[in-house]
A and B are shown apart, each in its own frame.
Chain A
Amino acid sequence: MIKAVNLTLKDESEKPVVSNLSFEIYKNDRIAILGRKSELSTLLCHALAGILQRTHPSYSVSGSILYAGQPIEEIDSHERTNKIAYVPPFADLLISGVKDTVFGEVALSLELTGIERDLIHERVNRILQRFAIEKLSNRDPDELSGGERHKVALAAMIVRAPDVLILDNPSMFLDTTGVNNLLSILRAYNGTIIIADPNPYIWAAVAGRFITIEKSGIVPYDSPAALIHALEKDAVHIDVPSWHELLLMLRQPLIIDTEVTSFRSLGSLRTIIRAMQ
């Protein structure tokens, strides 16, 4: 679906930040980008969303990213945004303020695509409920707190159900309930998800494949097993303080949907503590 071919990015000083990267993303893939530098994961997200040349005009790009066989920057911008949605870390700016209610703001995303009215109501209500912000639906988006606005922006992007959803640091301003709701939405999502977030909890809960940003370069892993294997052999140089936490989570993913259900037993906890020590 999305294919990177020999992608190389150089910054202003001609220093390569990404060199010769090739990977392929298939339909309904769940990919986590993990790494030590948020600049780099943001850069990669922009490249995958086809907006890199506008956000980083001083960077030189060689190689290409193809969406359905077509270079991503050449696709008509409207068509592209209908298929690929990129949610920036400061999602706040996604709120246009054109509508006077949260409901209207979220619905605007669907109105623009020309979907029937009844369907809009249904889909907007559903997404607001799943983010647990239905009680905000009649409030003015300008009067909400930062975290609430973040949820509204996420809802407004996800409600359009794009084929590819790229989330850049979505958990930054979300409370725990917000993160849980987001995760349960993402798990049920019918489409490709690319998520860059420093929180290992999110990687473990959503991702099936991983792209790690290591000191030596960017390495794709095709399954949690592959990453676990590499982590155990100490072959992953992502320098993430919580990498062993990640390892634990990959081994025993928690069930998150409504509330965390169980940690199995005291015994398993002791193993974890031992592992942490």
Chain B
Amino acid sequence: MIRYLPHPVPVFLFLVLIIISGFTLSIEVRFIVSVMLLLLFTFHIHGNKILRTIVRIVIPLCIAIGLFMTFIYPETEQWLTIAGIRLSRDGLTAAGEMTSRILLLFTGIIAFFNLITIQRLGSYLYQNNLPVWLVFILINGLKFVDRFKYKLSEIHFYQRLRGMPLENIWQRWKATVKILIPLLYFMIEESSNRAIALEMRGFTATTRRTTLKPDRQSTIDKIITILISGIIIFILLRSILL
């Protein structure tokens, strides 16, 4: 298990690289990069969980889109016929184009969020003089899904505890309103109380501020930053020149 946590700068560059290569690299290279990323995940602490989400969500999505593109693509040149269904070379290329792009972008974004902790991102943004309330909104926006899920499971648990049947989809559907009421209450109540609480913490400050410990790049971070920047420049130059 690797416990290296990269600095936000190389991680950001990595994301840029993924997005750029999603648009410039050839299909084969995109697939290869995606597979390499997937392999990298196996070294990650939560590798299994990440791979599971990819297998469950991203890959079925790719297959669906791939099939859709292959068969729906306006016919130009007939290439193959299987059981009466005609395939075209262009359709297949377009499908490959699309799926490889999706796979790469999704794995890239998932990798991005697993390479960096949200709070470290927050600390870095704060250090670079973003107003603290904006940092707060960004960070809590990113954490929102997790908090929502947590609150929802909490409500489910306590409602079930007092006898609310939530075993199958039909029962869950019937209970939607009863689950939503407390959930909405918490969302509203929390946001209004939060505003006051954060004002009390001094978040409205506009005066000069200090940063505790500047998050500086380590040597490895610097090397990675240079490497990724190099690759980005190379890709950009190549696509411009060719």
Residues of A in contact with B (beta carbons under 8 Å apart): 49, 51, 54-55, 77-78, 81-82, 85-88, 90, 93-94, 96-100, 104, 107-117, 120-121, 140, 156-157, 160
Judging by beta carbons under 8 Å apart, are B197 and A88 in contact?
yes
Query: At the interface, yes or no: B139 with Cβ under 8 Å from chain A?
Result: yes
State the Cβ distance, A138 to closest chain B Cβ, in Å: 12
Give the A-B pair count, Cβ closer than 8 A.
101
Given contacts A97-B139, A97-B143, A114-B210, are A85 and B198 in contact (CB under 8 A)? no
Judging by beta carbons under 8 Å apart, are A93 and B197 in contact?
yes
- State the 5 A-B residue pairs at the shortest beta-carbon distance, nearest first: A100-B119, A114-B208, A93-B197, A112-B205, A98-B122
Complex Cα–Cα for A81 and B210 (A): 18
Binds A, one of B71-79, B156-164, B172-180, B188-196: B188-196
Judging by beta carbons under 8 Å apart, are A99 and B201 in contact?
no
Judging by beta carbons under 8 Å apart, are B210 and A93 in contact?
no
Judging by beta carbons under 8 Å apart, are B206 and A78 in contact?
yes
Judging by beta carbons under 8 Å apart, are B117 and A100 in contact?
yes
Judging by beta carbons under 8 Å apart, are B136 and A111 in contact?
no
Residues of B in contact with A (beta carbons under 8 Å apart): 117, 119-120, 122-123, 126, 132, 135-136, 139-140, 143, 190, 193-194, 196-212
Complex Cα–Cα for A99 and B213 (A): 12
Q: B135 is contacted by which of A98, A100, A120, A156 (Cβ under 8 Å)?
A: A98
Judging by beta carbons under 8 Å apart, are B201 and A94 in contact?
yes
State the Cβ distance, A97 to closest chain B Cβ, in Å: 6
Judging by beta carbons under 8 Å apart, are B204 and A104 in contact?
no
Q: B210 is contacted by which of A49, A77, A99, A115 (Cβ under 8 Å)?
A: A115
Which residues of chain A are within 8 angstroms of B140 by Cβ–Cβ distance? 97
Judging by beta carbons under 8 Å apart, are A160 and B202 in contact?
yes
Q: A88 is contacted by which of B193, B209, B211 (Cβ under 8 Å)?
A: B193
Which residues of chain A are within 8 angstroms of B202 by Cβ–Cβ distance? 78, 81-82, 109, 112-113, 160
Complex Cα–Cα for A94 and B120 (A): 19
State the Cβ distance, A47 to closest chain B Cβ, in Å: 14
Judging by beta carbons under 8 Å apart, are A111 and B211 in contact?
yes
